[in-house]
Amino acid sequence: MSPDTPQSSGATPPEWVARAAELTAQLNHHSYAYYALDQPSVPDAEYDRLFQQLQALELQHPELITPDSPTQRVGATPLPFFRQVTHAVPMLSLGNGFSDEDVLAFGKRVADALAAAAGANTMDGNVVDTASAPVEYAADLKFDGLAINLRYENGLLVQAATRGDGATGEDVTANIRTVRAIPLRLRGDNIPTLLDVRGEVLMYKADFARLNERQRAAGLKEFANPRNAAAGSLRQLDSRITAHRRLRFFSYGIGLLEGAAMPDSHTGLMDWYRQLGLPVCQERALVQGVAGLLDFYRDIGQRRAELPYEIDGVVYKVNRFDQQQQLGFVARAPRYALAHKFPAEEALTTVLDIEVQVGRTGAITPVARLKPVAVGGVIVTNATLHNEDEVRRKDIRIGDSVIVRRAGDVIPEVVAYVPEARTEQVREFQMPVACPVCGSPIVRLEDETIARCSGGWIKCSAQRKGGLQHFVSRRAMDVDGLGEQLIDQLVDKNLIVTAADLYKLGFVALAELERMADKSAQNVLAALEKSKSTTLARFIYALGIRHVGEATAKELARHFGSLDALVDASELQLLEVADVGPVVAQSMIGFFTDPLNRELLEQLRAAGVHWPEHAAAERTPMPLQGNTFVLTGTLPNLSREAAQARIEAAGGKVAGSVSKKTTYVVAGAEAGSKLAKAEELGITILDEQKLIALLENA
C-alpha cells in the first residue's frame, strides 16, 4: 500500500483493496494512452463504466480513496479566492521574432555567443572551428493558452500555479486536478523527489465550439476564442465548472528538479516527460541551424489550420542544456530561445458602420465596415456579421471596439465587442426595410434567420451579379478569367442580363471594358467556349436553384440522366431522389415552372451548352446508394478528391460532418474530432483498405 493511502480500519476485504487499485491503474492507463500517447485504448463508454465501478467501490469504502484516484479530480466545495504562489524558479517570457530576418539575427546571436564561450574555454581563443558547426535546435509549437507550473512531490501532483507576473502566480490546483490530460501521479520508476513541470493549458478548437454552443443554448455569454475560454475556465473558484470544460495540457519546460538526473537536452527532457506520463506535443522537430528553423516554421504555417488547437507561432530553443546555460538570459527572457510568431489572426479595431450586402438568392448579410486593420497578414476593412440575429446576439453596435478574426482563407468575421471600450455614442444596427440595391421590400419569413430582398434577379442587379458569379464559378461552369469585377461591369452596363447572354458576348464588347486588354478578352471568350462542354451535374448546380447544392445536383443528374427528364419531373418523382425532401422539391418545381427559367434553359442549349446524357432507365447500378460517408485525416494512397469521386460513383454520398445519419467514417492519419465523434455515436469506421474493399465488392 502506498504511504498516501489512508489506513483502513482493517475491515476492508483485501480483494476490494486490490480491485480499487486495479481500477485506478486501468483508468490512469487509459487517460495516459489517450492524452500522453494520443492513442486511445478504449472507447469513452468503457472508461465511464470502469470509473463508475471505482466510484461505487469508494462510496462503500471511503478508506479506499487515494489522492491520485481518478474519482478525486473534482473538488466538492468552491474556493473563497485563489492563494498566491511564489515560483521556486521564475517563469520567464520569450523574445519575439516576426520575420526571417529576426530569425537570422537570433541564429547569429546564438552562434556568436556559443563561439565566444567556446573561445574563452580554449587557451588560444581560436573560435573558427566551433563556429562552423550549425547549432542544434528544438523547434516546438507556440500554444495559444496559459502557462502553468505543475509541482510533483515524489510523483504526486501537489500544486499547480498560473504564471502570474512570472515571480508569483495563483494557486489553481483544484482546477488543474480536473484536467484529465494531467496525471495526478507520475509513471515509471525514475520519479524525482521534486519536479516543477512547465507547460501550457489550452482548449481544443472542437471543445471550444461545443462549449460556446452550450453557453448559447443556456443564454450565457460566449467566449471570443479558445484562449479566453481556457483562461475563463481556469479562473473558476468552483472546480466543478472547470471539470466540464475539457481543458488540455502540453509540457514544454522545467523549473526546479530534485532527486533525479537532469536530462542533457530539451528533446531529452521531453522524452523523459513522456515516460513520466506527461503529455508532450508530437508536432516538434530537432533541426540544424537557422535553415532548419525556417523550414519548420513554414511547414507548421501551412498546416496550422488543420491542427486541433490554436497556436500563435513556433518556439525555437537551443537543444543542449549546457549551451543554454552558456547563453544565459537578457532581461526576463532567455537568450537561447525565440518565439517566431505567425501574423495574428485576430486584431482589435472599430466598427465605422454596419451596412448590408445582397447575395445571389437575395439574402441580406449585415457587414461591418471597419477601420482598416492588419489581420493574418492582410488589411481587413470589412467583416461579416452573418445575419440580423447574430448582430443582436453578439450585441455589436456601430462605434464599438471589436475583435476581428481571419483564419486561413475564411472570410473575416467580427468575434465580439470589447465591453470596457463601449461609449454612449454607439448606435444599434437597423435592418433596412428596402433593398439598398433595387429598392424592393426586404422580407424575413417567420421561421427563417435570413432576411431577403424580394426583387428577384429580374429587379435586383445584386442578385443578378451573384447568380452570374455562381454560374461561372469553378465548381459550376468553370469559366476561367471572368471575375467579380468583370461581371459587375457587364451587368452595370446592361451588356448581360442572364447567363445565356454571356455566350452572346463578342470580342468588341469585352475588349471595351475597363482594365481589359485584347488578350484577356480573347482568353475570356475561349474560356466561355470551353465551358459549353460540361456535365449535367455541373449545369444543374450552375443554375443556382435554391437548396440545390453540388451534392444534390450530382444526385439529380445521376437519377434523371437528362435535363428534360428533370425539368418534367413531378414532385413525387423528385422526392424519389435520395437527399431531396419537400423543401428542395418545391424549390425545383418553382424554378422549372417559371417561364423565364425555361426560356433561359432553351437559350443556353441554343448557345451550344451541352453534356452527355443517359436515359433514366439505363442508370448504372448504385450499390452504395443511401450510404453517407465522412472522410477524415489523410489516407495513405487515395487523395480526398479521389476517395470522394469513387464513393459517389458507386452512389454513396460524402458529407462534411459526422451525425447520426452517417453510415461510415473513413479515417486516415491524424484523424481528429470527427473520428472521436464517430466512436461516440458507434458509427462504423473504415481505413483506406476497408474502403477499397467495400467499393470493389459493391
3-state secondary structure 571-598: HHHHHCCCCCCHHHHHHHHHHHHCHHHH
Q: Helix, strand or coil for residue 391?
A: helix
Q: Does 316 interact with ligand IVH (rule: CB under 6 A)?
A: no
400 binds ligand IVH (CB under 6 A): no
Q: What dihedral angle (degrees, nearest 10) is formed by the CA atoms of 46, 48, 248, 268?
A: -50
| 582 to 367, 546, 630: CA distances (angstroms) | 32, 13, 25
Interacting span for ligand IVH (CB under 6 A) from 334-342, 467-475, 578-586, 628-636: 334-342
Q: How far is the CB of 314 from ligand IVH (least distance, A)?
A: 8
Would you state the cell numbers that stand for residue 639, as one nine-digit string? Answer: 487523395
Residue of 30, 73, 87, 142 that binds ligand IVH (CB under 6 A): 142
CA angle 292/316/230 to nearest 5° reads 130
Query: Least distance (Å) from ligand IVH to the CB of residue 613?
Result: 58
Does the protein bind ligand IVH through residue 339 (CB under 6 A)?
Answer: yes
Q: Which of residues 455-514 bind ligand IVH (CB under 6 A)?
A: none
- Fill in the DSSP letter of residue 474: T
Interface region with ligand IVH, contact rule CB under 6 A, candidates 140-148, 441-449, 625-633, 668-676: 140-148
Shortest gap between Cβ of 336 and ligand IVH (angstroms)? 9
Closest CB to ligand IVH among 109 and 614? 109
Long-range CB pairs of 531-534 (<8 Å, 24+ gap) are 531/472, 531/477, 531/478, 531/479, 531/609, 532/503, 532/607, 532/608, 532/609, 532/610, 533/610, 533/611, 534/477, 534/478, 534/609, 534/610, 534/611
Choose one: 136-144, 268-276, 667-675, 678-686; the region binding ligand IVH (CB under 6 A): 136-144
Q: Which is nearer to ligand IVH, 107 or 544 (CB)?
A: 107
Nearer to ligand IVH, 231 or 237 (CB): 231
The answer to whether 201 contacts ligand IVH (rule: CB under 6 A) is no
What residues are paired with 384 via a beta bridge?
367, 413
Please, what is the minimum distance in Å from the beta carbon of residue 144 to ligand IVH? Answer: 7
Q: Does 58 bind ligand IVH (CB under 6 A)?
A: no
Residues for the chain: how many in total? 698
Residues 309-345, buried b or exposed e (16+ Cβ, 10 A)?
A: bbbbbbbbbbbbbebbebbeeeeeebbbbbbbbbebb
Compute the distance between CA of residue 413 and CA of residue 384 in angstroms, rounded to an integer: 5
Cβ-based nearer residue to ligand IVH, 293 or 486? 293
Among 147, 363, 453, 462, interactor with ligand IVH by CB under 6 A: 147
Q: What is the secondary structure of 110-166 as a DSSP string?
A: HHHHHHHHHHHHSTT---HHHHHSPPEEEEEEEESSEEEEEEEETTEEEEEEE-TTS
d(CA 464, CA 487): 9
- Which residues are CB-contacts of 505 (< 8 A; sequence separation ≥ 6)? 490, 495, 496, 524, 525, 528
For 661, the grid coordinates are 445519419
Per DSSP, the residues of 613-671 read ---GGGPPP-TTTT-EEEEESB-SSS-HHHHHHHHHHTT-EEESS--TT--EEEE-BT-
- Give yes or no for residue 92 binding ligand IVH (CB under 6 A): yes
Minimal distance, residue 173 CB to ligand IVH, in Å: 19
With contacts defined by CB under 6 A, name the span among 88-96, 203-211, 235-243, 381-389 that binds ligand IVH: 88-96
Residue of the chain from 68, 170, 200, 413 that contacts ligand IVH (CB under 6 A): 200
Q: Which is nearer to ligand IVH, 21 or 92 (CB)?
A: 92
Rounded to a whole number of angstroms, the minimum distance from the CB of residue 313 to ligand IVH is 8
Annotate each residue in 239-278 with x if it binds ligand IVH (CB under 6 A) or - if it does not, as one string.
-------------xx-------------------------
Q: Which of 8, 53, 72, 93 binds ligand IVH (CB under 6 A)?
A: 93
Query: Site residues for ligand IVH, window 280-309 (CB under 6 A)?
Result: none
Which one of the listed residues 142, 394, 653, 674 is annotated catalytic? 142
Decide whether 85 or 396 has the Cβ nearer to ligand IVH: 85
d(CA 183, CA 32): 8
How many CB atoms lie under 10 A from the CB of residue 230? 29
Residue type for position 673 = S
Closer CB to ligand IVH, residue 163 or residue 245?
163
Whole-angstrom Cα distance, residue 373 to residue 379?
Answer: 5
Q: How far is the CB of 172 from ligand IVH (least distance, A)?
A: 14
Q: Which three cell numbers stand for residue 481?
A: 478569367
Beta-carbon count within 10 A of 228 CB: 16
Q: Which stretch binds ligand IVH (CB under 6 A): 139-147, 268-276, 407-415, 653-661?
A: 139-147
Q: Which stretch binds ligand IVH (CB under 6 A): 135-143, 260-268, 437-445, 552-560?
A: 135-143
Piece in contact with ligand IVH (CB under 6 A), picked from 64-72, 104-112, 153-161, 331-339: 331-339
Given 3-state DSSP classes, what are the helix, strand and coil percentages for the chain, each rounded to the nearest 5? 40, 20, 40
Q: 140 or 555, CB closer to ligand IVH?
A: 140
Check residue 334 for interaction with ligand IVH (CB under 6 A): yes
H/E segment holding residue 563: helix 563-567
Which grid cell sits at 458?
429580374
Nearer to ligand IVH, 41 or 93 (CB): 93
Query: What's the closest the beta carbon of residue 146 comes to ligand IVH, in angstroms?
Result: 7
In the bound complex, which residue of the shown chain has the CB atom lying closest to ligand IVH? Answer: 147
* Residue the block writes with cell 519536479: 195
The interface with ligand IVH within residues 149-168 (CB under 6 A) comprises 163
Sign for the pseudo-dihedral over CA of 74, 236, 148, 375: positive
| Least Cβ distance, residue 137 to ligand IVH (angstroms) | 13
Q: What's the closest the beta carbon of residue 69 comes to ligand IVH, in angstroms?
A: 30
Is-catalytic flag, 459? no
Judged by CB under 6 A, the stretch of 99-107, 134-142, 301-309, 538-546 that binds ligand IVH is 134-142
SS3 383: strand
Nearer to ligand IVH, 142 or 470 (CB): 142
Instruction: Determine which residue in the list 20, 36, 94, 453 makes contact with ligand IVH, applying CB under 6 A.
Output: 94
When the beta carbons of 141 and 675 are compared against ligand IVH, the nearer one is 141
Residues noted as catalytic: 142
Which residues would be at the binding site for ligand IVH (CB under 6 A)?
Answer: 92-94, 140-143, 147, 163, 200, 252-253, 315, 334, 337, 339
